[in-house]
Amino acid sequence: MKTSVLAAPATKTRAAASIPYTMPQVNLLPDDVRHARTLGVVKRWVVASVGLTVFAVGTVAAVAQVQSQTADADLSRADAETAQLLVQQQPFAEVTVLKAELDLVSAARTSTFAHEVLWSDYLGALVAVTPSGVGISSLDYRGASPLTAAPGSPDPLVAAGIGTVSFTAFAREVPDTAAWAEALDAVPGFDDARIDAVAVGVAATADFRYEVSGSFQVDAGALSHRFDAQPEGTS
């Protein structure tokens, strides 16, 4: 017959085996040795940090050097292109000077002919509206020029134009002065016609007994504008 008394020691043994056993540890190194080791570790970290810093600074310096060299190369290419363009422009230097001279001559021509009136057309119109039996004997035009302004009208009721034409004529009979003045005003470029006087002429003849004097204003509509500056792109 077996009893359960012998099972107890085995249980104690297993319980004892499950308890961890730790050996006591003691640092027997002297303090100066431990401090020296700690200082060595610190020095290694410092050296590593300095190395990383030097590497970073070197990398930045290298990048800056490369960028500077690239910028210098770009500047050199730009200078070379500029020099090449200047060389290519040299053949056109005379063209530029000639164009400036032409512009100056054109401006002078425009100023000189700014008050030009093509009188051949207007003299034909003047003869056309002259009454039958009347012959124009003299014409006198006083107008604006590049150096002088147009003279004022002697008649305060007449607005001055760009010039005034005074004329004298001989007539067989007394003309219809009102109709004549209206006919003159109807000519484009003529305005404010006046028949100032009709009298027996000093050199009267059987054909032309009366002497007539008058005047009219020439307005801006009579200007030819032949040499006005043209906008760019027009001919």
Say whether pLDDT at 235 is over 60.
no
What mean pLDDT do residues 131-154 have?
Answer: 83
Q: What is the CA angle 57-60-63, rounded to 5?
A: 150
Residue 133, class by beta-carbon neighbours within 10 Å (0-12 exposed, 13-18 middle, 19+ buried)? middle
Residue 155, class by beta-carbon neighbours within 10 Å (0-12 exposed, 13-18 middle, 19+ buried)? middle
Q: What is the rounded CA–CA span in Å between residue 154 and residue 213?
A: 14
Containing 122, the helix (H) or strand (E) segment is: helix 119-129
Q: What is the rounded CA–CA span in Å between residue 117 and residue 189?
A: 10
Look at 173 and 152; give whichever has higher pLDDT.
Answer: 173
Nearest to 155 by CA among 167, 145, 146, 164: 164
What mean pLDDT do residues 173-196 have?
Answer: 93
User: CATH topology for 119-222?
Assistant: Alpha-Beta Plaits (3.30.70)
List, for residues 214-233, the tens digit of each pLDDT value.
999 999 888 888 777 665 55
List, for residues 4-62, the tens digit of each pLDDT value.
444 444 444 454 445 555 556 655 656 666 666 676 677 777 777 877 887 887 788 77
3-state secondary structure of 9: helix
Asked whether the beta carbons of 190 and 218 are under 8 A apart, the reply is yes
0.75 surpassed by pTM: no
Containing 65, the helix (H) or strand (E) segment is: helix 31-89
